[in-house]
Amino acid sequence: MTVNQRIKQVRNTLNLSQIRFAQGIYLSNGYYAGIELDNYKANQRIIELIASKYGVSRHWLETGEGKMFDKDPPDGKLEQMIGLFRELNPYFQDFLFDMMNKLIKLQNTGKDKKDS
């Protein structure tokens, strides 16, 4: 398996679209797609960005030896939430923060639990 194939495997493991994965490592969608298609070779900068952003083992990316992740992989839901949040304008970001704070308060009072 090549470095490029391992990169694609990481993306699939994290359940991220090519667009979201590319955004996370500051690459254009087209360039990233070219990596998965083996049109471009992943250089050290890209390997470093993937390792840093997604907690992937550099050694595994380069050689295929060892574990894919240095630590537990990031939560896919959290990655999706961050991506969606970045797409919102500041007014809606503030609104979302307010709603999340209210949900946490509700959760902490136990009002969200169903009575058995």
Question: CA 21, CA 2: separation in Å to the nearest integer?
Answer: 18
Instruction: Name residue 70's amino acid.
Output: D
Mean pLDDT of 15-28: 93
Highest mean pLDDT among 15-24, 27-36, 72-81: 27-36
Residue 33 has pLDDT above 60, yes or no: yes
pLDDT confidence bin for 24, thresholds 50/70/90: very high
56 with 10: CB under 8 angstroms?
yes
Condensed to tens digits (0 to 9), the pLDDT of residues 47-93 reads: 999 999 888 999 999 999 999 988 765 566 776 777 778 888 899 99
Q: Which domains does the chain have, with CATH numbers?
A: 3-63 (1.10.260.40), 76-109 (no CATH)
The whole-model pTM stands at 0.62
Residue 115 has pLDDT above 50, yes or no: no
Question: CA 20, CA 56: separation in Å to the nearest integer?
Answer: 16
